[in-house]
Structure formats: C-alpha cells, structure tokens
Amino acid sequence: MIVELISVGTEILLGNIVNTNAAYLSEQCAALGLSCYFQSVVGDNEERLTLVLKTAMDRADIVILSGGLGPTEDDLTKETAAKVCGRKLVLDEKWKKRIATYFAAKNITPTENNWKQAMVPKNALVLDNLNGTAPGLIIEEKNAKVILLPGPPGELIPLFENSVRPYLETLTNGALYSQTVKICGVGESMVETRVKDLIDAQTNPTLATYAKTGEVHLRVTAFAENVKEAKKLTKPIVKELKARFGVDIYTTEEQVTLEKAVLDLLAANGLTLTCAEACTGGLLASRLVSVPGCSDVFKSCVVPYSNKAKRKLLGVKKSSLQKYGAVSAKVAEEMAKGAVFTSKCDAAVSVTGIAGPDGGSEEKPVGTVFIGCIVKGKLTVKEFHFSGNRQKIRESTVAAALTLLRSGILEYIGKIAFGKE
Amino acid sequence: MIVELISVGTEILLGNIVNTNAAYLSEQCAALGLSCYFQSVVGDNEERLTLVLKTAMDRADIVILSGGLGPTEDDLTKETAAKVCGRKLVLDEKWKKRIATYFAAKNITPTENNWKQAMVPKNALVLDNLNGTAPGLIIEEKNAKVILLPGPPGELIPLFENSVRPYLETLTNGALYSQTVKICGVGESMVETRVKDLIDAQTNPTLATYAKTGEVHLRVTAFAENVKEAKKLTKPIVKELKARFGVDIYTTEEQVTLEKAVLDLLAANGLTLTCAEACTGGLLASRLVSVPGCSDVFKSCVVPYSNKAKRKLLGVKKSSLQKYGAVSAKVAEEMAKGAVFTSKCDAAVSVTGIAGPDGGSEEKPVGTVFIGCIVKGKLTVKEFHFSGNRQKIRESTVAAALTLLRSGILEYIGKIAFGKE
C-alpha cells in the first residue's frame, strides 16, 4: 500500500523548526511495509493545502497529515480536510467533555476557540490524544484514508503508537525489514563497484549504499508477508556482503556507531584507551564520550595544541619538533607513546595535522595528517591527505583515527594481519 | 519571488535521516525575502522526480533541489533535471581535473562512476564544491532557475553560502539586508518578552528570534531598493536591541560564532586559554579549534574522564573526590586551578557533570553540571541543571562554559561587575 505524508505549518516553511515528525512517520510507515513516494510541506493556507491533499489522495491509499489542528484561527487542517472530503464538522460530545476535564485539571478556563477542537468531520474516527486538546482523526474515503494528527511530537508520537499503528496494521498486507551493514576504511565508489552486481540484480531484497564521512553504509531491505519472512529474505545478501567485505564491516546493527563499535571492541578485550589530539582538538574524544558508559574504556585525552603543550603533556622531544615539524610521523609517534606512558592505558591514538585554511606548505599541504596508534605496545603511524574545509578535514581525521585504532585492536587479537591497508 | 524546495533521497522517505537541509535552506531563503509555499521530498526515482520538478517549475521562480548528485547508480537528480530542461549532459573539463586532483590527493584511483560527476547539463553554471566531488549546478530556464546541490550538509551549506546566496541576491529585485544580533546567557522566552513590543510593531524592518543551544539570535531584516538603503533601515532597531541587551550581545556579525567571539576577546586582551573537560569530553575544545587561527590563544585541553586522570593531569585532590564527588563545585575549582597551573595559561575553563543517561542520583540528577572559570587568578564556579539527552546536555554545557568564560573576561577588563547572574 502507498502512504503519503503532508506536514502542515508555516514554521516549517520558514525553517524555524526541523521536520522531525516526517522522519518519525516515514520510519514507522516503512516498518509497516507501506511505500512512501512523496512527502510535502505546506503552510497554513486553505487553497494550497487543498491542492496538496487532493493530489495526495489521488496517488496514495493513505494520507497522513500532521499539524494545524490547534485552537487558533490559522489552524485549518481539519476544516480543509473535511471540505475536501465533503464532510460537515459536527460536535463530538465526548471530546467536548475531554476538553472541559483537561482545562479543569489545569485550573484554566477554556477560551471560545478551544471548543473548536471538539468539532470533527462527520463519521470520522476520533482518536484519543492523551497529551493535548486536539483529537487524532481518520476520515475513510473510497479512494484513500485520510489521517489527521496534531503537530507537537509529544502528542503525535503517542497518538501514532496507541491508535494509528494498530489501525494501519489492519490495512497492510505484509511487512518490511531492513538490515544495515556498516563499513569503514573503504571509499564509497570502491564499495559501490564491489556490490554493483548485487545492486543490478536487486529486486527483493533491495540494496542501497549511503556515504558517510569515512564510512559507507549498505542497507538491505526485504518485503514479505511478515517481518520474520522479510528478515529471512535479507539473510543471504547480508551473508554475501560479510563474505565480500570481511573485517571492514564494523557492525550490522543500525544503532551502533563506529565509535561505539571501537569502544565495544576495546571493552571485550579488556583494553583501556587514551588519546592525544592536535588538529582534531578534542573532536575524537568528544565522539567517544558521546557513547554512554564509555568511561569503562576511555580514560583520558589531551589536546596539546601548542608545541609547548606537546612537550609538557606528552614528552614530545624539542629536537623532533624542530627536525621534523609538529605535523610529522615522528611527532605522531612520540605523542602516542607519551599518551600511553602518562596514562598507563593499553591503547592510544594520536593525531597531528594541518586542518587549514592556513598553515599548509608545498611539502605539507592543508589536509596532511599523521595518525599514530599504539595497542599493547604495537605502534602504527600512517600519513593521510584529506580534502575539504577545516571542519571536513577534522571529521575525516577522526573517522580515520577510529578506523586505524580498530585495525590495531583487530591485529592485536589476531583477527587481521596488519599492513593490509 | 517564489522559491520551492525539493529534497531527493530514498533515505529521507524511509525516515533514516531527518531533513535538516530543508530547514537550513528554508531559513536562508526566508532571510533573502523569498517566499516558500511548498517543499517536497521524493526518492531517487526518475519518473516521480520529473513530476515533482515540473510542478515546482510551473509555480515557482526558483527551484532548489538537494541530494542525488553522488557517483552511485541510484543518484539521478542531475540526469533528471537535465532531461526536464531539455539539456544534454556535457563533460566539464575543469571539474574532471578537480576530481582527478581530489583523488590524487587521497592516493585513491577514481573508479569509472566517479567521472560521472564531471558531466554537467549544457550551459549550466557550475558552482565550486570545496568539500566533495559533486559540483553545485544552476540551470537557468525561462520560467524558473533550477539549482542543484549535493545532499551532505557539509557540502551543501558551504556551497550555498559561497555561491548560491550571492546568486540569489542578484535575482531578488530590490535588496534585502539582514543583520543578526547574537545573545548568550539569556533564555529564549526572556528575550522574546523583552522584544515583544518591537515584534508586534514590526513591518519593515522585521524582527525574528531564533533559539539556539545556549544562545538566542535576533534577525533584523529590511527591504529597500538597494542594500545601502535597507541597511539604513535596520540601524535604529539594532541600536535599540543593543540598548536593551547590552553586554549579553556577543556579536552583531552573522559569521561570528560564540567560540570565535570568546577567542577574539581573549586575543584582544592578550590572554591565553586552556580547558579541562570531563562530561563534555573535548566538545568545548573541539568548538574552539573549529575556529581558524585559534592557536594564538588556545593552547591546550585535557579530558580527565577517569578520577585517576583528574588527579594525575590536573592535581585534583583524592580527598576532594571522596568528600564532594567528581561532580562538585570543589572538583570544578581544583580542575580549573590545576589547568592554569600546568599550562601557565591566563585563563581556564573546567567542566564536570552528569550527562546521563546513567549516573544520576536524588541529590545530583542527570543534567547537573559544575563549570569553573579562572581569568587572571579570579575564580568563578557555577552550578547548572540542564535537561535533554546526553548530547543535548553536553552541548548546553559547552555554551554555558563559553558564556561563563566570556563574563569572566569582561569582568577582568572591567566591562561588567560580576555576579550579575
């Protein structure tokens, strides 16, 4: 079945708020096996909303509108939908009582326009909204079911989960299942080339690639009569991808990030981590700390931005700074060694580079980065050349540092022979 | 003039990502005085994209498409737009060279599909993308200008700022001028209350408030026959805002961030900075380092995530950790003092808190944060209680730390009497 989403609200068109409702509803509908081909955003304007709604009802089986159910003058989603469906608005006694109770509980006297929210399209299904004064509504037309939900996520999400999802489940005949395969250390076009045959041959399940900074995500999606069957369909493709990309796959779980995968790998092997960041300036540590419970593994980080700090905090040799420069393999090595020495951690990552826009040279252009990694005494230092602006270079560096560290751990536990890169 | 936005990407329809590009572009277009009546999201599908694009070109003067410019099989925005506009795709030699250089710098051999990105619609304007291999494109048709931008925000935003905004400014007849007044340390509703009379009375210039984490931005926008006249119109309002908010305004320049304002203030007064971050884990340092040239002022940071590291790196007393706990005013004080002592910097900020989701208690719930600040020997420690998830709490903490540091500097240079908060 085909679903279409319409978000109503001038504040979205003005960019004052991000349309998270659309993302939530899309994900929910996809999980129900509903195909969503179009989403629209339109302001609180009867003429334009009518146009968008009619178009949606012509091409979709289910149309979900969110927003514009408030008590104020400019909220006209319900009125417009009723008109498009040729329904009168009638008073819903039950909801009128609800509104009265709601305000009584808050010791507020409802204003005249609050009662407007008790008016519903004739013969519409009225869905209970436990968190507001606007009910959810379902208008069942021949060509399409029109579902109206309030805009505030705190009202929309519970309403969807309690009333809309159960309703949609009675309509759908089948379910969708997606499995994500996350790869690090391999470029997008390289990944694309290596799975081109699978993508060309895809029908059900389908395979799609998504490029992230320093990562590529592959999503395998199957449709079947139920989730169990759909899941079964994805298995052979996921197995094939594992065979093709091996250890470059760091997870097959949607919610696991690269930093989490690395922290889990360290924890599973009883290893503690410290880091020393120059050009990334705490961005790596910040990503690690974004993972709840990281403190079991991640112990400390130093950001020795000045040369003096590199010497004082990490014992980098003055002679090395003078002979090789702060951005060099030698200094990356001494930073990593110093970090391990001062922290007594099992593993360390060090980063020194030129993020730009200034500071580049013929010999060491902007984007030149040296990353050092030590796992249980085994040192690796790699040189990288990233492009983009300062922020992009720093993000690419962090992804590369996590990838290098991951390789170091995998080598330590004997999963890979190093130098494969 | 009327603008319409089309976001292309199956990942948006599936709800895998939130459509932040649409919010960014909407806000930018609104600031340029462009009216946006419709936004659409469509998948990587030629037929449906063609339908949406034709509809948009019929009702808007400018159509901005984002996404689907990648090198992979399913990226077909450019091909579809070219077909709709009846243009051949021709090789852009300059961009082909750019792609070659891009990969050479990375020591990667481009695969066949990378060269696809050097093909552009005949006579299209090619916009430089410094952060990726897909150029921005502008196709000027009689009825509408069609603008194509890559999906990754890290590419889209700089491309818009460097090339698209200047282009759009040449289209809007008459000129719009916006001046942003950025405020830190005052809550959104407080700011709104204090400018309500101005907002109610607004015609030209208009005044809009935008809530950011720990900041509120006020945008004064005027429309006139030329920028000079428009600028003149904004002056009195900006002057009034300065009178009302005084030192709480940290800048009136669009491109100046809070971290940049603080670094500039330190530099102007010949002060150096170090920081010590526990719960923020490098997020503060990372924001400081995101500012080019920060090294003149920012010297170092330590992230003592474990108690051991707090003692070893900053000399926090074991007794203080035991008596008051790691998250306490006393430890924040010792962290700041230790940071100044070890770095010999003029100023230091220290952060210790509970970012959650675990670790909270009756006495110190999740969101409890202590921030210490020392400027030339003058110590201030403040307790904060932030809400939201782990990431939100950490971001709020960084904004508060920058705001507290700014107050400390202002006090040191005699601009404010402290304790005003």
Cβ neighbour number for residue B358 with a 10 Å cutoff: 10
Alpha-carbon distance of B178 to B162, in angstroms, equals 17
Chain A residue with the nearest C-alpha to that of B104: A385
The conformation of residue A110, written as its DSSP 8-state character, comes to: P
**Which residue among B38, B42, B72 places its CB closest to the CB of A192?**
B72
Quick check: A392 and A386 in contact, CB under 8 A? yes
Q: What is the mean pLDDT of residues A214-221?
A: 92
Angstrom distance (rounded) from CA B146 to CA B139:
5
Give B129's DSSP letter.
-
What H or E segment, with its residue span, contains residue A250?
strand A249-251
Task: Count CB atoms within 10 A of the CB of residue B154.
Answer: 17
Which pLDDT does position B417 carry in this prediction?
63
pLDDT at B387: 84
Tokens matching residue B95: 């961009």
By the 8 A CB rule, do B74 and B44 touch?
yes
Put simply, whether B25 touches A (Cβ < 8 Å) is yes
What values do phi and psi take at B247, rounded to 5? Answer: -70, -15
Rounded to whole angstroms, the Cα distance separating A414 from A247 reads 12
Does the distance separating the beta carbons of B16 and A219 come in below 8 Å?
Answer: yes
CB contact under 8 A, A281 and B301: yes
* Inter-residue contact A276 to A349 (CB < 8 Å): yes
Type of residue numbered A399: A
Whether residue A40 and residue B39 make contact (CB cut-off 8 A), yes or no, is yes
What is the rounded average pLDDT of the residues A218-234? 89
Question: How near does any CA of chain B get to the CA of A148, in Å?
Answer: 19
For chain B, list residues with pLDDT below 50: 419-421
Interface of B with A in 188-227 (CB under 8 A): 210
Instruction: Tell me which chain A residues have a C-beta less than 8 angstroms from the C-beta of B280.
Output: 286, 289
| Token pair belonging to B294 | 């920060």
pLDDT score recorded for residue B263: 98
pLDDT in tens, A365-394: 999 999 999 999 999 999 999 988 899 999
Closest residue by Cα to residue A132 from A202, A57, A198, A75: A75
On the question of pLDDT at A419 being above 50, the answer is: no
Would you say A330 and A365 are in contact if contact means Cβ atoms under 8 Å apart?
A: no
Reading the block at residue A317, the tokens are 């040799």
pLDDT, residue B421, reads 41
Per-residue pLDDT tens digits for A262-282: 999 999 999 999 999 999 999
Mean pLDDT across the stretch A63-71?
Answer: 94
**Where do the domains of chain B lie, and which CATH numbers do they carry?**
2-169 (3.40.980.10), 175-251 (3.30.70.2860), 258-413 (3.90.950.20)
C-alpha A92/C-alpha A87 separation (Å) is: 14
Q: Against a cut of 0.80, is the pTM above it? A: no
- β-bridge partners, B384: B369
For chain A, what is the largest distance between any 2 Cα atoms, rounded to a whole number of angstroms?
85
Residues 6 or more apart from B407 whose CB is under 8 A from it?
B185, B373, B380, B416, B418, B420, B421
Q: Which residue of B has its CA nearest to A398?
A: B286
A29 contacts in chain B (CB < 8 Å)? 15
CB atoms within 10 A of CB B286: 27
Higher per-residue confidence, A88 vs A32? A88
In a 10 Å sphere around its CB, with 0-12 CB exposed, 13-18 middle and 19+ buried, how is residue A73 labelled?
A: exposed
**β-strands A2-8, A35-42 pairing:** parallel
ipTM of the complex: 0.77
Give residue for tokens 């060090």: A350
Structure tokens at B143: 């009825």
Residue A132's pLDDT band, with cuts at 50, 70 and 90, is confident
**Residues of chain A above pLDDT 90, percent:** 77
Q: Which amino acid is at B65?
A: L
**Most confident among A203-212, A221-230, B77-86, B109-118 (mean pLDDT):** B77-86
